[in-house]
Amino acid sequence: MYKELLLEIGCEELPASWVPPLSEQLRTCIGIHLKEARLGFQTEPESFATPRRLVVHVARLAERQEDLEQTATGPSVQAAFDATGQPTPAALGFARKHGVAVGQLVQVQTSKGVYLSCRQKQRGAAARKVLAGVLAETLRGLTFKKQMNWDARLNDGRGEFLFGRPIRWLLFLFGGRVVPFVIERSGLALSRGVAPVRAGSLTYGHRFFGVDGKPGRPVRVKSFLEYEKALSQNYVLLSREKRRSRIESELKANAERVNGVVATETGESTLLDEVPDLVEYPSVVTGSFPKEFLALPEEVLKTTMIHHQHYFPVINKQADLTEHFLAVTNTPRDNVSAIARNSERVLVARLRDARFFWEADRSAALSSRLDRLDTLVFHAKLGSYLLKARRIEQLAGLVAREALGRVELAKNASRAALLAKADLTTDMVGEFPELQGVMGGIYAREDGECEAVWRSVYLHYLPIGVSVEAAPQPSDLGEARGCWAATSIADKLDTLVGLFHAGEKPRGARDPFGLRRQAHGFFRILVDLPELVGLKARPELGSLVSAAESVYEVSLSQEIIDRLYPFLLDRLRFVLEQRGHNVRNVRAVTQPLPSWRQIRPLDVRRKLEVLPEFTSSADFLQLAGLFKRVRNIAKELPEEEFGSVESGETEISDEPLESAEAHLIEELDRRRPKIEAVLDAGVDYRLAFAEAAGFGPAVDRFFTEVLVMVDNPFLRRRRLVLLKRLEELVLKLADVSELVKQK
């Protein structure tokens, strides 16, 4: 038999960003714990959430637990009875442990012989009896970004009960009847006004509005149907979808009334994703501000409205901001005009501040602010932001000229890099830290810097900015494409190399300087260079690091290098894995071989794009399978010996070749130029991998027919050199041994 389960956890206002994930957590969490408690359900749990309530409903939940059948195996029959057939202590002990007589044990045939076994059937308890335990587990199972102590305890043997916000009521019904449950309060807090929270059959509507104008009164419900009805009568839209669509349609209608359109945002989380979780009963009000504030930069207006006030800007048909804005309120529609007037006053006060900053900041050119950067410390061991600005000025030029091979970009890139941090001393950035970079770009534009320069400053934090994660679009970059890449790379490279040199390194969750994010941004530019900015350059990691070292006028110690490059490779792998590339493939193409310095992030990406076409081909898998052996044997050849052979100082044996040996040499001679041509050009890795796959049969035959480690040292060297050459060539593509499934 099945009955309805309804749980509502009544909270004080939860942070908006937590609401949708908590709803999902609650749904999965209760499902897991119901299953663990052997309570079957015919309908899947469905969950809902608003800032003040987390709700889960199971329309058909089993009234009883499933019965439990347990079988325990005891001693073998041989060990269980003595020669006279009497039970031994082993048998007696086993029976006692399970609370039965020896006579009730049965004999079972197993692969090891005949054993005594105890079969017990435990009848399932009524769901009502176990649901309290399910709720306790569920409450414990919800996780929060930050949880709080609110003097609560659970009677589940674990005591202290932390949660996201205080719980003020629990509605917990099974088959229309309350399931007893209590959240206790700590002894220190118990007092008049602090009481345990007991599950009941009551819910509460909107904080300020209710049916018949009586808000805040509890409403008794018996079923989900009644519950939904009680909420809708009392100004709560339980469905997030409904709240969101109501907001959307009201925004649209309100914008149309002032002949405008709601400005859409770009980015990962938008205001429209946030507001449905700030309210239980949304309405939209329209306000406006004096037109004179439209003279402020669009970015400042938008940040003030969107980020500081959660208001939606309204744009006109030409996509320009208008003096109108829309605010989502948590109220019915009838008292909106007073709210609109008050919202206007708050916004105008903020805009007035912003205008003050705008005018004050523009009283001096951005370049004249550089001196003030001297008072801002970038890092204790690396000096001020002024020093940083001077360094990246130089480094951006180097990156443009050498790493990107575009001399003509160097001048503007240097200029942009020099100015990039100057906005840190502006009042506007002091007030709106999320506009750093952006404001610098705007002020540079106002100062008459050329487009390549001001856009590079504007976007230099991307692709990992304060609030925007995405890489800039070609339309954002305009004439700044290559210049932006040089500036942005230089900034990140300076930070990474400098801070590692200063002994900083992310540890676990601690990354106070955001070095991981810096590295992600750095690689996200490098792996997409042609697509992002239309450059053909394929900079090597080592040359970039060396450029930064030369600007710092240091050379990193081996110890620092040994910390820096694994970090960089890890971050490169992370960026690639995030794009959905296979983890094993990513490892294969990011081995620091022959050195991490030679890794070209762009080539790594290109290899990865074609590698999946080969990882299931028979020849390629044959090579991959044998490659570990190639690498192991090749280790027998000392580096200096190989070096002297390759430089021609040491001759190799001219004893007759075995045919498999000759065959492999031929293959190597034939395929090597093709592979090397691809490596040089950095395009068409498909061809190179196809050539490499072709080594498979020849290597297999070589290992079958030829003994490498022969006594004759000359012969041995010749064969080792052959394998070493093969190894070096293939490693330039990938460490294919990484592609073999671990057994």
Report CA-CA distances (Å) from 727 to 148, 482, 638: 57, 37, 14
Q: Which of 329, 412, 414, 426 binds other proteins (CB under 8 A)?
A: 329
Long-range contacts of 630-636 (CB under 8 A, 24+ apart): 630/699, 630/723, 630/726, 630/727, 630/730, 631/727, 631/737, 633/708, 633/709, 633/720, 633/723, 634/720, 634/723, 634/724, 634/727, 636/708, 636/709, 636/720
Q: Is 360 in the site for other proteins (CB under 8 A)?
A: no
Q: Which of 1, 83, 188, 509 binds other proteins (CB under 8 A)?
A: 188
* Cβ 702 vs Cβ 664: under 8 Å: yes
Binding mask 258-297 for other proteins (x = CB under 8 A): --------------------xx------------------
Nearest Cα neighbor of 431 from 322, 371, 355 is 355
Q: Which of 106, 349, 618, 681 binds other proteins (CB under 8 A)?
A: 349
Q: Which stretch binds other proteins (CB under 8 A): 35-43, 183-191, 445-453, 517-525?
A: 183-191
Q: Is 235 in the site for other proteins (CB under 8 A)?
A: no
Please give the Cα distance from 118 to 103 (Å, whole number): 10
CB of 340 to other proteins, least distance (A): 8
Q: Which stretch binds other proteins (CB under 8 A): 88-96, 379-387, 459-467, 494-502?
A: 379-387
Relative to beta strand 53-62, strand 197-200 is: unpaired
Q: Is 191 in the site for other proteins (CB under 8 A)?
A: yes
Q: Which of 209, 357, 358, 627 binds other proteins (CB under 8 A)?
A: 209
Report CA-CA distances (Å) from 456 to 267, 428, 451: 19, 19, 8
Q: Is 83 in the site for other proteins (CB under 8 A)?
A: no
Q: Which of 107, 335, 578, 712 binds other proteins (CB under 8 A)?
A: 335
Please give the Cα distance from 171 to 223 (Å, whole number): 11
Nearest Cα neighbor of 351 from 318, 311, 319, 315 is 311
CB of 605 to other proteins, least distance (A): 37
* Cβ 158 vs Cβ 140: under 8 Å: yes
Specify the residue, 165 or 252, whose C-beta has the smaller distance to other proteins: 165
CB atoms within 10 A of CB 3: 17
Q: Is 193 in the site for other proteins (CB under 8 A)?
A: yes
Q: Which stretch binds other proteins (CB under 8 A): 34-42, 260-268, 374-382, 595-603?
A: 374-382
Q: Which stretch binds other proteins (CB under 8 A): 331-339, 503-511, 534-542, 595-603?
A: 331-339
Count the helices and strands in the chain (H runs, E runs).
30, 20
Q: Is 189 in the site for other proteins (CB under 8 A)?
A: yes
Size of the site for other proteins (CB under 8 A): 54
- Residue 149's beta-bridge partner residues? none
Q: Which of 76, 232, 288, 309 binds other proteins (CB under 8 A)?
A: 309
Please give the Cα distance from 723 to 258 (Å, whole number): 76
CB of 460 to other proteins, least distance (A): 20
CB of 184 to other proteins, least distance (A): 13
Cβ neighbors of 544 (< 8 A, separation 6 or more) are: 399, 403, 489, 493
Q: Is 352 in the site for other proteins (CB under 8 A)?
A: yes
CB atoms within 10 A of CB 434: 16
Q: What angle do CA 141, 147, 152 make, to 5 degrees?
A: 80
Q: Which of 40, 215, 218, 694 binds other proteins (CB under 8 A)?
A: 215
Q: Which residues of 111-126 are buried (b: 16+ CB within 10 A; e: fewer)?
A: eeeebbbbeeeeebee
Q: Is 207 in the site for other proteins (CB under 8 A)?
A: yes
CB atoms within 10 A of CB 621: 18
Q: Is 346 in the site for other proteins (CB under 8 A)?
A: yes
Q: Is 186 in the site for other proteins (CB under 8 A)?
A: yes
Q: Is 223 in the site for other proteins (CB under 8 A)?
A: no
CB of 668 to other proteins, least distance (A): 57
Nearest Cα neighbor of 165 from 346, 327, 350, 12 is 12
Q: Which stretch binds other proteins (CB under 8 A): 369-377, 398-406, 550-558, 705-713?
A: 369-377
Q: Which of 155, 239, 288, 330 binds other proteins (CB under 8 A)?
A: 330
Specify the residue, 279 or 602, whose C-beta has the smaller distance to other proteins: 279
Q: Is 503 in the site for other proteins (CB under 8 A)?
A: no
Q: Which residues of 197-218 are buried (b: 16+ CB within 10 A; e: fewer)?
A: bebbbbbbbbbebbeeeeeeee
Residue 529, token pair as written in the block: 């260079």
Omega of the bond leading into 433 within 30 degrees of 0 (cis): no
Please give the Cα distance from 586 to 738 (Å, whole number): 9
Residue type, 660: A
Q: Which stretch binds other proteins (CB under 8 A): 53-61, 375-383, 633-641, 661-669?
A: 375-383
Q: Which stretch binds other proteins (CB under 8 A): 206-214, 492-500, 536-544, 628-636?
A: 206-214
Residue given tokens 């009497």 in the structure block = 86
φ, ψ for residue 432 (rounded to 5)? -120, 75
CB of 343 to other proteins, least distance (A): 4
Q: Is 686 in the site for other proteins (CB under 8 A)?
A: no
Residue 333, token pair as written in the block: 């529609």
Q: Which stretch binds other proteins (CB under 8 A): 333-341, 482-490, 633-641, 666-674?
A: 333-341
Q: Which stretch binds other proteins (CB under 8 A): 65-73, 82-90, 130-138, 181-189?
A: 181-189
φ, ψ for residue 615 (rounded to 5)? -70, -5
Q: Is 307 in the site for other proteins (CB under 8 A)?
A: no
Please give the Cα distance from 327 to 256 (Å, whole number): 15
Q: Which stretch binds other proteins (CB under 8 A): 88-96, 118-126, 378-386, 393-401?
A: 378-386
Q: Which of 21, 31, 166, 592 binds other proteins (CB under 8 A)?
A: 166
Q: Which of 123, 146, 291, 741 binds other proteins (CB under 8 A)?
A: 146
CB of 245 to other proteins, least distance (A): 20
Q: Which residues of the chain form contacts with other proteins (CB under 8 A)?
A: 12-16, 146, 148-151, 165-166, 168, 186, 188-189, 191, 193-195, 197, 207-209, 215-216, 278-279, 309-311, 327, 329-331, 335, 338-339, 342-343, 345-349, 352-353, 356, 375-377, 379-380, 384
